[in-house]
């Protein structure tokens, strides 16, 4: 006896999306095993202190480094950084359109091979070759790319606490950034209004050194936000820079002991990333 099951459109979409995720995971893992195979490792010390591991593929090629402690990106204990040659080889077979899933599969692969559980991943993508001419008329070719940094261990605030804070911000303070914060991971994501306010290559340097930027609107103007580590930086579409506490004060969140990074945690989710 067969039972007919009727799915709603949203249930069907969710199921199909889960299938696509599993297919993508298998594709990435299969590719990693095919291209790199059995991994080996070498410890690198500086003044007697272990600061990174070098990972070699089945052919003895250097494909990645694992930076330890304070030698990696901020907030990372074991920072897995793929070499540019390795990521360019990967990009020839599979696009990184699911950065979060790709990062987790990569970390699981390294753990299975080497027994080292990394918490962060960094790699380049969207490679382009460009040619420039120097003052002597000589041409030289170089590669451009974007850099992705991802912390797979970073947890969002506890959901119940987050919901209470969001409800308070919305009901009492009139603040609601739901669906209004966009993550910036490459120069192509930045609106043209901001182009004239940055020197050539500056946005990429920001992204490479500090991670993703975020775009939001406040009082009719667009702002770019960047967590610089020791301070928060805001740039509006007119080129004005705010590095003190002006934006949190304007929102009124400073009196709650909140920073704009908390707003990012409350309202932005990478779960929707494709």
Q: Examine the domain organization and report whether 220 and 262 are in the same domain.
A: yes
Q: Residue 20 sits in which domain range? A: 9-151
Q: How confident is the model at residue 154 (pLDDT cuts 50, 70, 90)?
A: low
Rounded to the nearest 10 degrees, what angle do helices 9-36 and 99-114 cross at? 40
127, 173: one domain: no
Selection from 160, 158, 179, 180 nearest residue 168 by Cα? 160
Who wins on pLDDT, 97 or 120? 120
**pLDDT tens digits, one per residue of 250-273:** 888 888 888 898 888 888 765 444
In a domain, 1, yes or no: no
In a domain, residue 2? The reply is no
Q: Write out the two tokens for 153.
A: 């261990």
pTM: 0.52
Q: What percent of the chain shows pLDDT beyond 70?
A: 83
Average pLDDT in the 231-251 region?
Answer: 89
Q: Which has more pLDDT, 120 or 161?
A: 120
Kindly state the average pLDDT of the residues 116-122.
90
pLDDT 10s digits, 3-38: 444 444 444 344 445 557 788 888 889 999 999 999
For β-strands 213-218 and 62-68, DSSP reports them as unpaired
Q: Which residues pair with 211 in a beta bridge?
A: none
Only one residue has tokens 């095919």, namely: 34
DSSP conformation class of 70: G
Residues 96 and 173 in one domain: no
**What Cα–Cα distance (Å) separates residue 271 from each residue in 117, 168, 227, 268?**
22, 24, 20, 9
Q: What percent of the chain has pLDDT above 90?
A: 24
CB 144 within 8 A of CB 127: yes
Q: How far apart are CA 178 and CA 268, in angstroms?
A: 8
Sign of CA dihedral 259, 74, 94, 185: positive
- Residue 151 carries which DSSP code? E
Lowest mean pLDDT among 14-18, 74-78, 114-118, 144-148: 14-18
CA-based nearest residue to 62, from 95, 88, 36, 33? 36
* Pair 197, 143 in one domain: no
Task: Look at residues 151, 172, 202 and tell me which one is the last residue of a structural domain.
Answer: 151
204 pLDDT above the threshold of 90: no
Q: What is the pLDDT of residue 269?
A: 65
In a domain, 144, yes or no: yes
How many separate domains does the chain show? Answer: 2
* Structure confidence by residue, pLDDT tens digits, 164-190: 777 778 777 788 888 889 988 888 888
**Does some domain include residue 244?**
yes
* C-beta separation of 83 from 77 below 8 A: no
Same domain, 144 and 165: no
94-119 core/surface letters (b: 16 or more CB in 10 A; e: else): eebebbbbbbbbbbbbbeebeebebb
């Amino acid at each position: 006896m067969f039972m007919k099951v009727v799915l709603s459109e949203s249930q069907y979409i969710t199921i199909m999306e889960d299938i696509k995720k599993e297919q993508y995971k298998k594709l990435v893992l299969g590719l990693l095993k095919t291209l790199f195979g059995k991994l080996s490792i070498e410890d690198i010390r500086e003044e007697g202190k272990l600061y990174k591991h070098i990972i070699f593929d089945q052919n003895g090629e250097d494909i990645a480094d694992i930076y330890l402690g304070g030698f990696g990106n901020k907030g990372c204990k074991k920072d897995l950084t793929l070499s540019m040659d390795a990521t360019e080889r990967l990009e020839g077979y599979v696009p990184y359109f699911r950065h979060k899933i790709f990062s987790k599969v990569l970390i699981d692969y390294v753990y299975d091979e080497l027994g080292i559980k990394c918490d962060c991943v960094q790699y380049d993508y969207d490679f382009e070759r460009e040619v420039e001419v120097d003052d002597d008329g000589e041409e030289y070719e170089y590669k451009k790319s974007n850099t992705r940094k991802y912390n797979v261990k970073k947890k969002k605030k506890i959901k119940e606490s987050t919901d209470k804070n969001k409800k308070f911000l919305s009901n009492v303070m009139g603040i609601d950034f739901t669906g209004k914060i966009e993550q910036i991971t490459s120069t192509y994501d930045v609106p043209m209004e901001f182009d004239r306010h940055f020197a050539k290559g500056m946005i990429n340097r920001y992204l490479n050194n500090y991670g993703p930027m975020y775009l939001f609107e406040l009082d009719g103007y667009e702002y770019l936000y960047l967590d610089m580590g020791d301070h928060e930086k805001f740039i509006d579409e007119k080129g004005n820079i705010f590095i003190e506490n002006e934006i949190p004060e304007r929102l009124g969140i400073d009196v709650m002991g909140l920073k704009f990074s908390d707003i990012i945690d409350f309202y932005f989710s990478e779960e929707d990333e494709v």
